Amino acid sequence: GAVVSQHPSRVICKSGTSVKIECRSLDFQATTMFWYRQFPKQSLMLMATSNEGSKATYEQGVEKDKFLINHASLTLSTLTVTSAHPEDSSFYICSARDGGGALSYNEQFFGPGTRLTVL
């Protein structure tokens, strides 16, 4: 099956620093990638939709200047949490959708997630 990787799996940083999370599709081209966030004991929430070569679409309430998304290639999207604060501590998960190859168009493949702790 299709594989999506995320790096790093876990990061601890000081308040005010920026953190970059990478999401890669390893064996397929992902024209669309999604970034989700999960706070403890809550459901996953969509943050933004990232389309290769264009600007990301952010969900209501998600600050685009704080959560910078770059989808520069068909296999890589990055999420940068700028000037991170303790309230940004969360579990960040990406998913990727195949761009119309052999995989089902509606299928989403999830990365293993990144646990961010901001001190």
Partner 1 sequence: KNEVEQSPQNLTAQEGEFITINCSYSVGISALHWLQQHPGGGIVSLFMLSSGKKKHGRLIATINIQEKHSSLHITASHPRDSAVYICAVRGGGADGLTFGKGTHLIIQP
Binder of partner 1 out of 43, 86, 100, 102 (CB under 8 A): 43
CA distance 16 to 19: 10
11-19, 40-48, 67-75, 78-86 -> range binding partner 1 (CB under 8 A): 40-48
Residue 54 engages partner 1 in binding (rule: CB under 8 A) = no
Q: Read off the amino acid at residue 29.
A: Q
Binder of partner 1 out of 13, 20, 45, 68 (CB under 8 A): 45
**SS3 of residue 88 by DSSP:** helix
Which region holds residue 61: left if phi is over 0, alpha if psi is between -120 and 50, else beta? left
Closest CB to partner 1 among 16 and 116? Answer: 116
Q: Which of 86, 85, 71 is nearest to 25 (CA)?
A: 71
Residue 107 engages partner 1 in binding (rule: CB under 8 A) = yes
* Contact indicator for 33, 42 with CB cutoff of 8 Å: no
Q: Give the shortest CB-110-to-partner 1 separation in angstroms.
A: 4
17-25, 37-45, 64-72, 74-82 -> range binding partner 1 (CB under 8 A): 37-45
